[in-house]
Amino acid sequence: KIMEFSSFFNQYFQHKEPWKKEPGTTNCVFLSVNAARSMAIALFPFIPESSQKIWEQIGLDGKVHENKWSSISDIGIKSGHILGEVSPLFVKVEDEDIAKYKKQLGPSE
């Protein structure tokens, strides 16, 4: 369900195209940043380091694990919030890398 939620907001963000700065796009950014906050909390048990990076990139102080699970549906980021520095969370794994790792690890049974 977490990934469905993430996919929904990704599609919403892409559809609204807030980078074009047309009327109504401010609300899109507001909702999407709050969705990212919720995802950071929800994903923490599975990818703690990446969740903390999300937390910092959206400009939140403290540690993501200090937030209660019940706060996941809160609108914790208010209008006018300043985002942190954004950078990629993950490195893309290329097909050549996959082939190399398969060769190193040997055949699967």
Each residue of 78-97: pLDDT tens digit? 988 999 999 999 999 999 99
Phi and psi at 75, nearest 5°, equal -90, 85
Percent of the chain, pLDDT > 70?
A: 98
> pTM of whole model > 0.75?
yes
Token duo for residue 30: 């507001």
The confidence score (pLDDT) of residue 25 equals 86
The confidence score (pLDDT) of residue 106 equals 81
Each residue of 50-60: pLDDT tens digit? 999 999 999 99
Closest CA to 76 of 47, 55, 57: 55
Where do the structural domains in the chain lie, given as residue ranges? 2-105
Binned at pLDDT 50, 70 and 90, residue 46 comes out as very high
The confidence score (pLDDT) of residue 24 equals 79
- Report the distance separating Cα 99 and Cα 10, nearest Å: 30
108, pLDDT greater than 80: no
Binned at pLDDT 50, 70 and 90, residue 109 comes out as low
Fold of 2-105: Isoleucyl-tRNA Synthetase; Domain 1 (1.10.730)
| Greatest pairwise CA separation for the chain in angstroms | 56
